[in-house]
Amino acid sequence: MSNYQLNESYDSYRSVDLEARAAAASPYELVLVLFDGLLDELARARGHIEAKRFQQKGQSLEKCLNILNGLNGALDYEAGGEVVQGLARLYDYCIYRISDVSVSLSLEGLDEVVGLLGVLREGWAGVNDGRR
């Protein structure tokens, strides 16, 4: 089995796994599923940059941007107040940085986004734990 076939099989597995998790998730758990998928895809993008697989890097970063745009679009500005406005600014900043990384190939920029989103993911996990 070639590396390409292995990657295709892994992609199919991850897609089914994420779909199954999303289907059974509460709204808070769904955000965690999205963050997990986003952080996983950012790690894959990093590997693509390091290996100079630029087409795959572009596809991975596009997936990341789509997830961030989805998270941003789901924010409730009317009910969320300053917290939602802060999240929107952070999502916008991450979108900007990922767009820059796509051109600059800056691993430092990618690591910055991973760090910011990792902190946000921990916060969402705390919110979810508190709701149980």
Going by C-alpha positions, the residue among 121, 128, 126 that lies closest to residue 36 is 121
Q: What would the pLDDT profile of 51-67 be if each residue is shown by its tens digit? A: 999 999 999 999 999 99
Q: What would the pLDDT profile of 86-106 be if each residue is shown by its tens digit? A: 999 999 999 999 999 999 999
Which domains are assigned to the chain?
Answer: 27-131 (1.20.120.340)
Q: pTM (2 decimals)?
A: 0.79
